[in-house]
Amino acid sequence: MDSLLIKGGVPLHGEVTISGAKNAVLPIMAATLLTSGKCVIRRVPDLSDVRFMAQILKSLGAEVKVDGDTVTVRAAKLNPIGDYDLIRKMRGSICILGPLLGRQRHAKVSLPGGCVIGTRPIDLHLKGMRDLGTKITIESGYIDAKAKRLIGADIFLGGRAGPTVLGTANVMMAAVLAEGVTTIESAACEPEVVDLAFFLSKMGAKIVGAGSPTITITGVKDLAGVEHEVIPDRIEAATFAIAAAATNGEITIHGARPDHMHAVLDKLKDAGVKIERKGLALIVKRGSRLKPIDVTTLPYSGFPTDVQAQMMVLMALTPGLGIITERIFESRFMHVSELARLGADVSIEGPSAIVKGGHPLSGAPVMASDLRASAALVIAGMAAKGTTQVSRIYHLDRGYEKIDQKLASLGARIQRVDQE
């Protein structure tokens, strides 16, 4: 099993290019199942989750070709039953449910897995499918969904922690081939949902309101194959921005979309990080003095939960008291105990982490619990004195394309090693 060996204390300097968004490409790959035509997807990151999705599409009968950052899919004939072992390993795999139902009126998929960051039920996905006229049973680890017809409906997708991103995507993909009009209320507004809607619209779907809490879909009879370029990964861009500030470096980030990052960039500026736009690039460096801030994670366009762990590292390096409140997932502070091994002073009070910052960090062996915790531990290791070894980096490979190589190009002393 691979781990990352990091010798800290080196500021990051140089230029980095952001890859395509993991959270956009997975549902877009699933959406190729809605048509028998050829779909070409560009700027696809080389991630284990993407490779898993390609295997899932193949197991359903689709032809999948990967050529660099371009993925071509042709799903001429489909098997409605997904591979149990493949699907259960990745939460994003649930987004094949909507396309299979939309095109074939039948889908049988295993309950999905993913990072251990708290309860992430799929009840809203299933509610949306039932509202469209689907009969669903769950047995032996499988979701078996069947519908003689899909009929447009008014569907409310608000949950306890706000709208569901994958649930919105799933219902939208089923509804594009339903009869009549579907209105999704309390829809997720994330850029990844908008990118999916754009992809579907290119295919011939009729979608209005993506990016707002109300999405209206008028069903069509069939969809065509298209070409599409995935949006850049706003979470990767935020991770590199925080890494630059945490290591007291200065980097230029190419390919990011600042309009997708308002909340993160605003909080970084509040924390004393200097951010300059230069053409299509972002230049990020630490200011003369970091300042502690309060951060609360919220649905888009609020501060993303996927950047919470990375921001905690920056607050641990900042003199003063910072407060980070998690409103999306109830168990997303599992990185706190590992950051403590490096010297971070963080205490948990209910949904909030109280960070007493300004203490120097020192290298130690740590273990990643999920994707974004992995990124946070890597940032902490680069900012710490001495050597840090981050284990279980298979989490990291799920969502960051060649992050060790990108960081090394910025001057980080980071090496991937085989940990037996």
pLDDT at 62 over 80: yes
Provide the 10 A C-beta neighbour count for residue 420: 4
Residue 113's pLDDT band, with cuts at 50, 70 and 90, is low
Provide the 10 A C-beta neighbour count for residue 379: 31
Catalytic residue of the set 39, 95, 115, 189: 115
pLDDT at 208 over 80: yes
Q: What are the two backbone dihedrals, phi and then psi, of residue 327, each rounded to the nearest 5 degrees?
A: -110, 0
Residue 233's pLDDT band, with cuts at 50, 70 and 90, is very high
Report how far residue 122's alpha carbon sits from residue 167's, in angstroms, rounded to the nearest whole number.
Answer: 7
pLDDT tens readout for residues 24-50: 999 999 999 999 999 999 999 999 999
Active site residue 115: yes
Start-end of CATH 3.65.10.10 domains in the chain: 2-18+232-418, 22-229
The CATH topology of domain 2-18+232-418 is UDP-n-acetylglucosamine1-carboxyvinyl-transferase; Chain (3.65.10)
Average pLDDT score, the chain: 94
- Strand 106-110 and strand 142-146: the pairing is antiparallel
Provide the 10 A C-beta neighbour count for residue 365: 15
Q: Which residue has the higher pLDDT, 116 or 307?
A: 307
pLDDT tens readout for residues 73-90: 999 999 888 787 887 777
Most confident of 75-79, 107-111, 178-182: 178-182
| 251, β-bridge pairs | 14, 284
What percentage of the chain carries pLDDT values higher than 90? 87
Q: Which CATH number fits domain 22-229: 2.130.10.10, 3.30.450.20, 3.65.10.10, 3.40.50.1370?
A: 3.65.10.10
Lowest mean pLDDT among 114-118, 166-170, 171-175, 410-414: 114-118
Lowest mean pLDDT among 108-112, 127-131, 339-343: 108-112
pLDDT tens readout for residues 369-386: 899 999 999 999 999 999
What percentage of the chain carries pLDDT values higher than 70? 98
pLDDT, average across residues 256-274: 97
pLDDT, average across residues 355-378: 96
Contacts of 194 (CB under 8 A, 6+ apart): 210, 211
pLDDT of amino acid 420: 64
pLDDT of amino acid 119: 43
pLDDT at 118 over 70: no
